[in-house]
Amino acid sequence: MSTPPPLPVHRRTVLASGAAGAAGVALTAGGPAVAVAATAARAHPFRHGVASGDPLPHAVVIWTRVTPTPASTPGSGKGPQVEVRWEVARDARFRRIVRSGRFATSAARDHTVKVDVTGLAPATDYHYRFHLGDATSRVGRTRTAPAADASPERLRFGVVSCANWQAGWFAAYRGLAARDDLDAVVHLGDYIYEYGPGQYGYGPDDEDIRTHVPAHEILSLTDYRQRHAQYKRDPDLQDLHARYPWIVTWDDHEVANDAYKDGAENHNTDLGEGDFHRRRARAHRAYDEWMPARLDGTARLGDGDRLYRRLRFGQLAEISMLDLRTYRDAQLTVPDGDVSDPDRTITGRAQMDWLKASLANKRAQWKVVGNPVMIAPVDFAALPHDLVDPINDVTGLLPRDGVAYNVDQWDGYTDDRREIFQHIRDHQVTDALFITGDIHSGWAAELPYDAATLSDPLAIGDTAGVEFVCASVTSSNLKDITGTPPRTTSVAVEELIKANNRHIRYLDFDSHGFSVLDLTAERAQMDWYVIGDRADRDTPITWSVSYATATGTGRIEQVEEPV
């Protein structure tokens, strides 16, 4: 690959915006509050930054965490109930405050603060901050979504996943925070990792560039709270949270590796790790406390664990964020004919019906699906369905879509994928776009109805849409695991996969970084940016490659420059 150009400097994309929301005061959350001593203010209580998320046309979630006393460390269960004041303004100096209120927090929710601020204007930049006694947090900037009937010229999102603290520095977050042209950041899962020191780090020997806290695999509510708190102390992560609203979902490592509805690869009751459902409930509670997301449609604590939801951005795009861990059946141990079993699911019935409704609606042009694990088929020796199906009527032995290389993905649950793709075909859905994380590599793929018969690269109408997969922020990829130089061993593997899967147009097993998704009425484009050495906090960031899909085609082409 030729030497890529340096990271470009952009001006902010300006969307049509309405008038500022009328000034007002929101209701105070929680009960009576305890006054804060001046000594607490001097202790800099806002140590974990600020964040915002889930932007709607008239609302956005804002978040922070306070440390009211020296003993009130994350997960400690110690410290008084305190009252935190919050403000939202149209300007960074807070001369035009449009919303404000008070929020009571305590050790019961790990002293986190999460407010769903309503009454805002669509497609508008806002600034927000928090106060505890005489102490004031840093100022965060956020942005509301366009009005439902608006037609924005473009939308632009940062796309990230798989940020392992022990594997290196979060340079990808630094790269996105340096931009000034995004509407939001989409995080597709593995925001934290559950492993203890030395279990999953940098390179083939799993060296810890930075060591996890607590210093063991996390299991208890205290553990998960402390791990979230550690990640929130990263300065690049804090900067990116403070600069843009985030739209998040979880994958497996927010709980445990290769999680499914009743267990996980990295959970062993025989080793004293207890009941998995209790562990997951603790992990989800900590996630709810520490992340700026609406669980079960609200921003209140204790909402349960429904994280799949829709966010609309005018008539140009609607984002449907999936949860592909909480409701799925256990992964198969071998890729065999059972991957096509209609009784096995990755989505669960309720989420499947919800996703189908999202795809079929006519509210927005681009039906963007925030997809934690890859949906494009990646297999070997796939045969056309009209040959496989009659054989399986007799034997039931052949995988309908070939031999999958990774059954933790949708390839292990192909009947769910078939149902989605058939729904897209039956309802003549256009511009379905899946954006994906999880697999620590960059991909651009078309989504064929039948991978074995997709042969004409110019044909239109035989794909269900396209998929763009972002690389990991730090989590190890193929070159890291094998310890080989970049663009050596991996290239042969990439070419083998592409030769057996003609719908895969781009594959990079070696890079870490972030992506930028740019949407217009004419096309959707994904730009991949790569970092240098994860162990170098100041490692350079460069543009690598870009691919786009034209409206209504379901096909992908490489483009020559980023947006």
Percent of the chain having pLDDT more than 70?
85
Query: What confidence tens digit (pLDDT) does each residue in 448-458 have?
Result: 998 766 555 54
Report the alpha-carbon angle 238-243-249, nearest 5: 70
Neighbours of 252 (CB within 10 A): 23
Query: What pLDDT does residue 473 have?
Result: 98
DSSP letter at 219 equals -
Evaluate if residue 268 carries a pLDDT over 70: yes
Q: Which of 358, 319, 335 is nearest to 410 (CA)?
A: 335
Taking residues 260-271, what's their average pLDDT? 95
Query: What is the tens place of the pLDDT at every residue in 349-363?
Result: 999 999 999 999 899
Helix axes 349-360, 414-426, angle to 10 degrees: 30
Whether residue 43 has pLDDT greater than 90: no
pLDDT above 50: residue 4: no
**pLDDT value of position 509:** 94
- What is the CA 262 to chain-centroid distance, rounded? 23
Whether the predicted model's global pTM rises above the 0.75 cut: yes
Tokens for 56?
């709607």
Which CATH number does 155-559 carry? 3.60.21.70
Give just the sign of the alpha carbon dihedral 502, 506, 509, 514: negative
What would the 3-class secondary structure string for 271-322 be? HCCCCHHHHHHHHHHHHHHHCCCCECCECCCCCCCCCCEEEEECCCEEEEEC
3-state secondary structure of 385: helix
Query: Could you give the C-alpha distances from 56 to 4, 142, 179, 247, in angstroms and in order?
Result: 36, 11, 22, 11
Question: Which of the pair, 91 or 497, is modelled with greater confidence?
Answer: 91
Least reliable range by pLDDT among 308-322, 375-389, 503-517? 375-389
Cα-Cα-Cα-Cα dihedral sign, residues 441, 444, 447, 453? negative
Mean of pLDDT values over 500-510: 93
Q: What residues contact residue 488 under an 8 Å CB cut-off, 6+ apart?
A: 479
Inform me whether the pLDDT recorded for 17 exceeds 50.
Answer: no
Q: Does 84 score more than 90 pLDDT?
A: yes
Among 51-60, 362-371, 373-382, the minimum mean pLDDT is found in 373-382
Pairing mode, strands 97-105 and 24-25: parallel
Section 55-72 average pLDDT: 98
Torsion angle in degrees (nearest 10) through CA of 534, 535, 540, 543: -10
pLDDT tier, 496 (very low <50, low <70, confident <90, very high otherwise): confident
Give the count of beta carbons closer than 10 Å to the beta carbon of residue 32: 7
Element (H, E) at 424: helix 414-426
| DSSP one-letter code for 138 | P
Checking if the pLDDT of 346 tops 60, the result is yes
Rounded mean pLDDT of the chain?
A: 88
Show the CA angle centred on residue 254, arms to residues 253 and 259, nearest 5°. Answer: 55
Count helices and strands in the chain by DSSP H and E runs = 10, 25
Of 127-131, 369-373, 403-407, 492-496, where does mean pLDDT reach its minimum? 403-407
Q: Taking a C-beta distance cutoff of 8 angstroms, is the pair 77, 222 a contact?
A: yes
Q: Please report the pLDDT score of residue 461 as a whole number.
A: 64
- Mean pLDDT value across residues 59-68: 98
Instruction: Please determine, for residue 232, whether its predicted confidence score (pLDDT) is greater than 90.
Output: yes
Domain ranges of the chain: 24-143, 155-559
Tokens of 43: 């202790």
234 Cβ contact list (under 8 Å, min separation 6): 165, 170, 173
Question: Which residues lie across from 222 on neighbouring strands?
Answer: none
The CATH architecture assigned to 24-143 reads Sandwich (2.60)
Q: How far apart are CA 121 and CA 58, in angstroms?
A: 5
pLDDT of residue 260: 98
| pLDDT band for position 18 (cuts 50, 70, 90) | very low
pLDDT given at position 305: 76
Distance, CA of 412 to CA of 377 (rounded, Å)? 10
Q: In terms of C-beta density within 10 A (0-12 exposed, 13-18 middle, 19 or more buried), how is residue 499 classed?
A: exposed
Cross-strand partners of 102: 85
> 116 pLDDT exceeds 70?
yes
Residue 401 confidence (pLDDT): 54
* Contacts of 87 by beta carbon, 8 Å cutoff, 6+ apart: 94, 97, 99, 100, 128, 129, 130, 131
Predicted confidence at residue 536, as pLDDT, reads 97
Percent of the chain scoring above 90 in pLDDT: 78
pLDDT of res. 250: 98
Q: Which amino acid is at 116?
A: D
For 141-185, how does the pLDDT look when each residue is reduced to its tens digit (9 = 90+)? Answer: 999 999 999 999 999 999 999 999 999 999 999 999 999 999 999
pLDDT value of position 497: 87
**DSSP strands (E only) in 66-144:** 82-89, 97-105, 112-117, 125-132, 135-136, 140-143
Structural contact between residues 515 and 442, judged by C-beta atoms closer than 8 angstroms: yes
